[in-house]
Structure 1
Amino acid sequence: MAAGNTPVSGDAEALPTTAHGGRGGWKTTPFIIATAAGLTLAAGGWLNNLIVFLIQEFNIKSINAAQIFNVINGCTNFFPVIAAVVADSFLGCFSVIWISSLVSLLGLILLVLTATTDSLRPSNGATPSGFQYAVLFTALALVSIGLGGTRFTLATMGANQLTESHHQATYFIWYFFTLYVSSLTSATGIVYVQDNLSWGWGFSICLAATVFGFVVFLIGKRYYCRESQQGSPFASLAQVIVASFRKRRFAISSKSDDYYYGVKEVAVVGPTKSFRLLNRAALKIEGDILPNGLIAKPWNLCSVQQVEDLKTLIRILPLWSTSILLSTPIGIQASLVVLQALTTNRYLGPHFQVPAGSMIVFTLLSTAMCLSLFDHCIWPLWKKVIHKNPTLLQQIGIGHVLNITSMAVSALIESKRRARSHSMSILWLVPQLAIVGFGEAFHFPGQVALYYQEFPSNLKSMATAMVAVLIGVGFYLSTLLIDFVRRVSGWLPDNINDGRLDNVYWVLVVIGVLNFGYFLVCSWFYKYKNGEVREGDHSV
């Protein structure tokens, strides 16, 4: 992320320092970055070319393969929220990461076996047997769980090693850049190996990359500052709801001294006026507090901080929901563009053929290029024209606009592809992928920054996982939307040359425009934590 105001979670005292035995700090970053590189390289290797693998090796019909791809993408982006709950409440980031890496290893071993053992794959165009399906889906489930448990938990753990906001900013830009470069490498190198050598060699490289990341992560164990778990933050939030309900008959006081602030009882400012009904949870009544100052029953009385933490989540949820339909078109495009690529002329020169599963490389490349230009080109130009730095909400809004533009370009290109089919060069598909990649560079890191900045300090892992949840829900919705379109229209037959894929993209344009309007409304009413609008928070 760029220098300047940085997404930080909670107070500085809530973050680990390097004072405890010299742990934490920048010396941990190479281990975490290297781990992220290895695990991301492996994940991209099996995920990017999954549709082609299912079609060629398991004889699954193209649209069904695209549906499976969307479900798997949804899983890999939904599991991070489960990992975040476990990390924040019970095990901590370190344990969640090494356990998830081990799960990935088991899944990749099964994938290597499916690619190299004849009895685990159907032959001669046959339908896979129940046992073959079971092994395949077990492997995909394991690698999905492993990926979901590591990617965003690693981001949180790395940020927690640093106490200075500008240091966290630098860490985030390196972390995201690593993710995109690793994904770019796997989408080209590993996919090429799978298409031109063998699936067994391709999945074996993924296995080796996972082993590398796992070993490097464990080597850095002695340097990590490990956070101590203090119970479930989600139970703390639930206590606010229960306590406010139990005290529903009591009048809400306007005096700050009538509220509970914790053991120290420092009544600086009373609870905020928004969602005032929740303030009753912190209202002190007779019998709530023991002589030693502790709470007699946590489900009857909460601190003002607990109340404000829940209010923060409530305020940000509408804004968070606007990004669900931002992820859905991306999920649909990611799967259908592979089918489009299979119908085009994929040769660049007389000998080289672009693998259909490598089309994602153009999105990754454009995102990485855009990220590298933020500090030295895009943001200085923005400030020169607008005379102030962009806010995180403006950054996300630009992503919305670029996403809509990409879907419109996709519709126009698809109309041209239908007319020319195999005579059209695969390079015609590049602009739509490049535009959606530019959009990701704005909205994806912007969302991570916003949630990490705005979420309560005891929900750091959940903050970074929220973007993964968005992507996961988006992919699930993309599956449902494709299935709905197939049921009510003839736009998506198994042979897309007989359909109207361009109409699907135009529907996504309409959805994107409506969702952007919803985003503008939510942004207008949203106030950053502590009430101020933060200029200069243009972190990526």
Structure 2
Amino acid sequence: MEGSITDAKLPLLPLLNGTPSLQEEGPYTGNGSVDVKGNPASKTHTGKWKACYSILGGEFCGALAYYAVGTNLVSYLTKVQGQSNVTAASNIAAWQGNCYLTTILGAFLADSYWGRHRTIVVSLTTFTFGMVLLTLSAVVPPNMHRSMATFPQEALSSLGLYMTALGLGGIWPCVPTFGADQFDDTDVSEKAQKELFYNWYYFAVNGGFFVASTVIVWVQDNCGWGLGFGIPTLFSVIGVVGFLASMRFYRYQKPGGSALTRICQVVVAAFRKVHVDVPSDSSLLYEMPGKESAIVGSRKLMHTDGLRFFDRAATITASDEASASRPWKLCTVTQVEELKIFARMLPIFLTGVIFNTAEACFPLFVEQGGAMDNHFAAAFALPPASLTTFTCVCILVLAPTYDRVLMPAVSRITGVKRGLSELHRIGVGMVFAVLALAAAAAVETARLRSVEAEAPAVSILWQAPQYVLVGVAKVFGVVGYIEFAYEQSPDAMRSLCQACSLIMVTPGSYLLSAMLTIISSVTGGGGGHGGWIPKNLNEGHLDRFFWLMAALQLINLIAFVCCAATYKSKLPTT
């Protein structure tokens, strides 16, 4: 981290009033944020950790509600609604895909028109309404089916699921960015605290997942689905109320208009001036006078070399001087730099497609565990799916201790105050993703050898390392992508960039599904041979598929290193 905090120690869990700033240049923030009344935000009375507790609490409640639905949804659709396994799996895949695809819509509304706070409030309300419909679908009497043309359970659950997906589209890209907005990055002390926020945000998400996948799933299986959906619905309501209760403490960033429109304006203006020479002196390029940017809610961006073709959009010609401002012909330097920054970030985001296939392999991990000895402590049988708890516990332990234990240790090695940059953190996560798939392959190789030797079945606990390694990969990689999306993006495009990092989960899942289909077709052959992944894993070679995925993760890591080595970081804003 640039700048030094020599004697200040950052607490593991920050105090209610936050850590006193080491740099107090004035009573107001320097990043253009405002308070609930639209006035410049006070450093003393707004933002920092007193604002973040309600944000993190709301995220915990929202994550608990989401995972309470997603973790056990297949059981509800098959056992309660009577859907086939294929239909249920297809519906769940479509729902999960929509959850991530709608993040683009939520980010667009937040950056362009509504702002992050309003988008979160509307999205939380929409999500909660969807949870209410799901709860109602679980308590509708089954005998109503006979007297109605359409099944109320299916109609209510389908509408509820798509309402939750629509709500999550505004929650996921906006909550981490809105939380980071509570810290002024022009203040050295607050910027250090913001780096802590990313870890606590991910801790809150996985805390909700842990409670949902243990307590709530047990309630659903043993106490009924009405209560199983009703409890997370109540938590969702609590999250909305808690989030609204702290409005006076928040710092708000004004929406800057459509980022997609500004990008298109730069592209069109650059192509319209394809034969115009760009001046060698960047000060001759067009920019608004004074300190304020032409983009509402965004500070000015300094001109950078590279991608000089787009500088034509800010090159002033004789026709520009003679006419009024025409944004589709003449753009500001800040607007051009927005496009340049996004173009430089895009290759880093794309490496997230392969990285996210590591977690997408969890269903295969569960199938692998089903072919192993799951008896633990004599008579106790360990469900294969319960081993995902190792991933969750790893995250819950590692996320809050990262800054207290790991960062100081790495800092002593690298000589950098913050230990690892965003790109370094993503790279470390990718290394652990390779190790996780390699561990899964090694365990499967050992299991198949024991089957061939007719030896006792391998214990399911041998899967623990691969789940733990995925947890470590997520703490470094996923949090690194969240931090990268906020720190490197322009002020008025932060929600959009956050959505870009999230949406990479969807093509990652689609890629894994396509690979499974192709490999099954290629290796299956004829005569009923099951290929690498048959119904009976003892007759297949799941280990080869895991080795293939490990190799793919390694290639992705190499590609990421090449992208990171050539990546040009965003210059300080003015």
Asked whether the two chains share a fold, i.e. TM above 0.5, the reply is yes
Determine the C-alpha separation between the residues in 1 that align with 2:485 and 2:549: 26
Tell whether 2:485 aligns with 1:451.
Answer: yes
Range 299-308 or range 354-363, more displaced? 354-363
Determine the C-alpha separation between the residues in 2 that align with 1:131 and 1:265: 58
- Residue 182 of structure 2 aligns with which residue? 161
- Residue 217 of structure 2 aligns with which residue? 191
Task: Deviation per CA, 1:472-531: give whole Å up to 9, x if none.
Answer: 322232233333334433334456565443332222112112211211211221122239
1:182 Cα deviation from its structure 2 partner: 1.9
Range 454-463 or range 143-152, more displaced? 143-152
Aligned-partner SS, 1:14: coil
CA contact (8 A) 1:81 1:465 kept: yes
Q: Which amino acid aligns with 1:398?
A: V
Segments ≥4 residues shifted beyond 6 Å:
1-6, 129-132, 265-270
Q: TM-score, normalised by structure 2?
A: 0.80
CA contact (8 A) 2:443 2:463 kept: yes
Q: Indicate how the Cα distance of structure 1 residues 257 and 218 shifts in structure 2: closer, same or farther if over 3 A, else same.
A: closer
CA contact (8 A) 2:358 2:437 kept: yes
Correspondence for 2:60 among 37, 46, 53: 37
Determine the C-alpha separation between the residues in 2 that align with 1:429 and 1:121: 45
- Residue 411 of structure 1 aligns with which residue? 441
Range 91-100 or range 32-41, more displaced? 91-100
- Residue 549 of structure 2 aligns with which residue? 508
Q: Indicate how the Cα distance of structure 1 residues 454 and 265 shifts in structure 2: closer, same or farther if over 3 A, else same.
A: closer
Matches within 5 A, 1:324-363: 324-331=353-360, 333-346=361-374, 348-349=376-377, 353-363=381-391
Q: Indicate how the Cα distance of structure 1 residues 141 and 269 shifts in structure 2: closer, same or farther if over 3 A, else same.
A: closer
Q: Which amino acid aligns with 2:551?
A: V
Aligned-partner SS, 1:273: coil
Q: Indicate how the Cα distance of structure 1 residues 201 and 390 shifts in structure 2: closer, same or farther if over 3 A, else same.
A: same
Aligned-partner SS, 2:320: coil
- Residue 274 of structure 2 aligns with which residue? 248
Correspondence for 1:378 among 406, 410, 422: 406
Q: Which amino acid aligns with 1:196?
A: N
- Residue 94 of structure 1 aligns with which residue? 117
CA contact (8 A) 2:301 2:334 kept: no
Determine the C-alpha separation between the residues in 2 that align with 1:290 and 1:188: 68
Q: Which amino acid aligns with 1:275?
A: L
Tell whether 2:417 aligns with 1:396.
Answer: no
Range 471-480 or range 239-248, more displaced? 471-480
- Residue 14 of structure 2 aligns with which residue? none
Task: Deviation per CA, 1:93-152: give whole Å up to 9, x if none.
Answer: 222212222222232233334444464999xxxxxx988655544333222222232133
Q: Indicate how the Cα distance of structure 1 residues 19 and 378 shifts in structure 2: closer, same or farther if over 3 A, else same.
A: closer
Q: Which amino acid aligns with 1:512?
A: Q
1:213 Cα deviation from its structure 2 partner: 0.8
Q: Indicate how the Cα distance of structure 1 residues 470 and 305 shifts in structure 2: closer, same or farther if over 3 A, else same.
A: same
Q: Indicate how the Cα distance of structure 1 residues 106 and 412 shifts in structure 2: closer, same or farther if over 3 A, else same.
A: same
Q: CA RMSD in A?
A: 3.6
1:450 Cα deviation from its structure 2 partner: 1.5
1:356 Cα deviation from its structure 2 partner: 4.8
Tell whether 2:307 aligns with 1:275.
Answer: yes
Determine the C-alpha separation between the residues in 2 that align with 1:305 and 1:351: 66
Range 132-141 or range 194-203, more displaced? 132-141
Correspondence for 1:462 among 496, 501, 507: 496
Structure 1 gaps of 5+ residues are 123-128, 532-540
1:37 Cα deviation from its structure 2 partner: 1.2
Tell whether 2:117 aligns with 1:83.
Answer: no
Q: Which amino acid aligns with 2:32?
A: A
Q: Indicate how the Cα distance of structure 1 residues 302 and 77 shifts in structure 2: closer, same or farther if over 3 A, else same.
A: same
Aligned-partner SS, 2:239: helix
- Residue 16 of structure 2 aligns with which residue? none
Higher relative contact order (Cα pairs below 8 Å, separated by 6+ residues): 1
Tell whether 2:249 aligns with 1:223.
Answer: yes
Determine the C-alpha separation between the residues in 2 that align with 1:60 and 1:496: 26
Range 426-435 or range 55-64, more displaced? 55-64
CA contact (8 A) 2:136 2:156 kept: no
Determine the C-alpha separation between the residues in 1 that align with 2:462 and 2:143: 37
Determine the C-alpha separation between the residues in 2 that align with 1:464 and 1:161: 16
Determine the C-alpha separation between the residues in 2 that align with 1:400 and 1:315: 20
Tell whether 2:376 aligns with 1:320.
Answer: no
Q: Which amino acid aligns with 1:479?
A: S
- Residue 18 of structure 1 aligns with which residue? 41
Correspondence for 1:307 among 336, 345, 353: 336
Range 479-488 or range 112-121, more displaced? 112-121
1:73 Cα deviation from its structure 2 partner: 3.3
Q: Indicate how the Cα distance of structure 1 residues 440 and 2 shifts in structure 2: closer, same or farther if over 3 A, else same.
A: farther
Determine the C-alpha separation between the residues in 2 that align with 1:510 and 1:79: 31
1:367 Cα deviation from its structure 2 partner: 1.9
Q: TM-score, normalised by structure 1?
A: 0.85
CA contact (8 A) 1:343 1:422 kept: no
Identity of aligned residues (%): 28
1:334 Cα deviation from its structure 2 partner: 2.3
Q: Indicate how the Cα distance of structure 1 residues 481 and 204 shifts in structure 2: closer, same or farther if over 3 A, else same.
A: farther
Q: Indicate how the Cα distance of structure 1 residues 266 and 43 shifts in structure 2: closer, same or farther if over 3 A, else same.
A: closer
The structure carrying a bigger helix percent of its residues is 1
Range 438-447 or range 490-499, more displaced? 490-499
Q: Which amino acid aligns with 2:364?
A: L
Determine the C-alpha separation between the residues in 1 that align with 2:437 and 2:329: 51
1:377 Cα deviation from its structure 2 partner: 2.5
Determine the C-alpha separation between the residues in 2 that align with 1:225 and 1:115: 40
> How many residue pairs were aligned?
519
- Residue 46 of structure 1 aligns with which residue? 69
Determine the C-alpha separation between the residues in 2 that align with 1:130 and 1:221: 41
CA contact (8 A) 2:74 2:92 kept: yes
Tell whether 2:564 aligns with 1:523.
Answer: yes
Determine the C-alpha separation between the residues in 2 that align with 1:410 and 1:188: 24
Tell whether 2:368 aligns with 1:367.
Answer: no
Determine the C-alpha separation between the residues in 1 that align with 2:370 and 2:58: 34
1:30 Cα deviation from its structure 2 partner: 2.0
